[in-house]
Amino acid sequence: MPKRLRFLVVLIALCLSLTITGCSLQDLLGKNKNKTSAKKESEPIIAVSLNEQDPNKLLILKGIEDLAKKEDVKVKYINSESKEESPLKDAKILIYQGGDESILQESQSEEIPILALTQLPSGIKPEGIIIPDQEKAGELMAQTLLGKFTEGQLVILQGDPNESGSQQLLAGNMAILSKYPQMIIHTISSPKGSESVAKTGLVDFLQKNPDNVQGILAHNESLAGQASEVLKQTQLDKKVSLIGGQASIPSLERMAKGSQIGDIDTSPYLQGANAYQWAQKIIKEEALEVNNSITSEQGEIPAKVIAVKAVTSSNLAVIQKSYTTTMQTAEKDKKQKEQAESKGNEEKDQGKDQEKKDQAADKKEEDGQSGDKQNPVPPGVEKVTERIKTETTRDYFDAEGKVMGTEKTVNEQVKTVPPEMLNQKAEQPKDSEGDQGDQGDQGDQAKDDSKKEEK
């Protein structure tokens, strides 16, 4: 068989195949296009719920968003002001540090994986957890204090005693302080929801032991802020050494002013960046870079522990500048995002308002049209009169176009119209009605002209 004939046979067979199956080359190309657009629409959304009381929440969020921007991944921040019925809609993962705990239940029911930045309530098992090294932080706090004194009374302001991070901080404190038997330690705990207990307990203890307390270890910024306030009120801020366990803009400012001698940098921005990286790996079902594990009721949870470092007078300036610069950028990003969302909502509302106006205008026009079709004569009318006033101005010109004179006449007449005629006129089509009206006006004008000529 010649090559040309063989090619024609193959081409005909291909066309018959496409015809029988109902496919075409355009269909095939269209399917590929749909696959591409579907792939684009399925870009992952990362939901984030942070502790509103955490002074470093914006730094954590910025660590997440900075990496997300580079990969065009959407981050949906969930807070107490979120008005969505289902804030986890279309989310591929939830990064949880705090907030409404009901979202954890919703995440599990929707089979959305959870990445924790803190200990989770009983019955909730995350895919992984990223936390600062709390035990090391406790050790560094104690070591900073020992640089000031090694004997006397010491107060430890602990957070929630049932929370594992708080337990690890206390364990780190005691691992160092237990080596100094001349150190008398008094611990004041703050159960969840009763944070004011620590402040009240500290005031009572200072009143009962005046001039005996040498130092205070406050496990988080909230407790450190309360302790600083109490020390100022009792005029002990220059006598008692205060050390925090969670560096933040306020605590670093206290250090710069001399009312606090030390703190712990927990690297909140780095926590956020690592959380994003792990979230992406969990979504893509890739192996996690695990350097530790946390034991829970549900078993071992893969963990990544972030290194911490002590903040002292020697490195205060560098760390304070880093926190301040990052926080300012985070606040600027937040403001721009809120403005963009507000502008989008405003444009959306304007679109709705314009749509309502258009609908109202259409309805008004329809009502006007329907009103034109209605009977113009009220029921029971037997006689209708019309008053018509006509004003005519005539200019007389000579051969050269100069005005030789002007005549102005006014004609006013009253006509009686049978109601039946008006009703028939209203029922006629609009175009013919206009024509008849024009003809009637021309007839009346002709009559007026003839009357004037007679005069």
- Tokens 């107060």 correspond to 155
Instruction: Quote the CA–CA distance of 197 and 193 in Å, as a whole number.
Output: 9
Instruction: Quote the CA–CA distance of 263 and 240 in Å, as a whole number.
Output: 15
Regarding whether 258 and 149 lie in a shared domain, the answer is yes
Say if CB 415 and CB 388 are below 8 A apart.
Answer: yes
Regarding whether 184 and 249 lie in a shared domain, the answer is yes
Residue 231 burial (CB < 10 Å; 0-12/13-18/19+)?
A: buried
CATH code of the domain in which 206 resides: 3.40.50.2300
Regarding whether 121 and 138 lie in a shared domain, the answer is no
CA distances from residue 445 to 169, 388, 389, 390 in whole angstroms, order as listed: 105, 11, 11, 8
Regarding whether 278 and 242 lie in a shared domain, the answer is no
In a domain, 55, yes or no: yes
Say if CB 82 and CB 100 are below 8 A apart.
Answer: no
Domain count, the chain: 3
In a domain, 238, yes or no: yes
Closest residue by Cα to residue 255 from 330, 139, 170, 144: 144
Beta strands in 175-288, from DSSP E residues, in sequence order: 183-188, 213-218, 241-244, 263-265
Instruction: Quote the CA–CA distance of 26 and 32 in Å, as a whole number.
Output: 10
In a domain, 331, yes or no: no
What six digits make up the tokens of 396?
Answer: 């007389």
Say if CB 109 and CB 82 are below 8 A apart.
Answer: no
What six digits make up the tokens of 336?
Answer: 């721009």
Regarding whether 152 and 125 lie in a shared domain, the answer is no
Q: Which residues contact 399 (CB under 8 A, 6 or more apart)?
A: none
Regarding whether 237 and 162 lie in a shared domain, the answer is yes
Domain limits at 139? 134-266
In a domain, 95, yes or no: yes
Closest residue by Cα to residue 245 from 116, 148, 118, 159: 159
- Beta strands 292-296 and 299-306: pairing type? antiparallel
Question: Taking the CB of residue 272, how many other CB atoms lie within 10 A of it?
Answer: 30
In a domain, 215, yes or no: yes
Q: What is the pLDDT along the chain (455 residues), one digit of tens a residue?
A: 555 555 555 555 555 554 444 444 444 444 444 444 444 455 679 999 999 999 999 999 999 999 999 998 999 999 877 667 788 989 999 999 998 899 999 999 999 999 999 988 888 989 999 999 999 999 999 999 999 999 999 999 999 998 889 999 999 999 999 999 999 999 999 888 776 888 999 999 999 988 899 999 999 999 999 999 999 999 999 999 999 999 999 999 999 999 999 999 999 999 999 999 999 999 999 999 888 878 777 778 999 999 999 999 999 999 999 999 999 999 998 888 778 767 766 666 666 666 766 676 666 666 555 544 445 667 777 777 777 777 777 777 777 777 777 777 777 777 776 766 666 665 555 444 444 444 444 445 444 544 444 44
Domain boundary among 266, 282, 317: 266
What six digits make up the tokens of 263?
Answer: 């703190």
Regarding whether 188 and 165 lie in a shared domain, the answer is yes
Question: Taking the CB of residue 205, how many other CB atoms lie within 10 A of it?
Answer: 17
pLDDT at 453: 44
pLDDT at 196: 81
Regarding whether 143 and 125 lie in a shared domain, the answer is no
Regarding whether 276 and 127 lie in a shared domain, the answer is yes
In a domain, 378, yes or no: no
- Residue 280: left if φ>0, alpha if ψ -120 to 50, beta else—which one? alpha
In a domain, 32, yes or no: no
Regarding whether 139 and 118 lie in a shared domain, the answer is no
Regarding whether 237 and 209 lie in a shared domain, the answer is yes
Instruction: Quote the CA–CA distance of 407 and 453 in Å, as a whole number.
Output: 13
Regarding whether 230 and 211 lie in a shared domain, the answer is yes
In a domain, 339, yes or no: no
φ and ψ at 211, to 5 degrees? 65, 10
pLDDT at 394: 76
Instruction: Quote the CA–CA distance of 274 and 270 in Å, as a whole number.
Output: 6
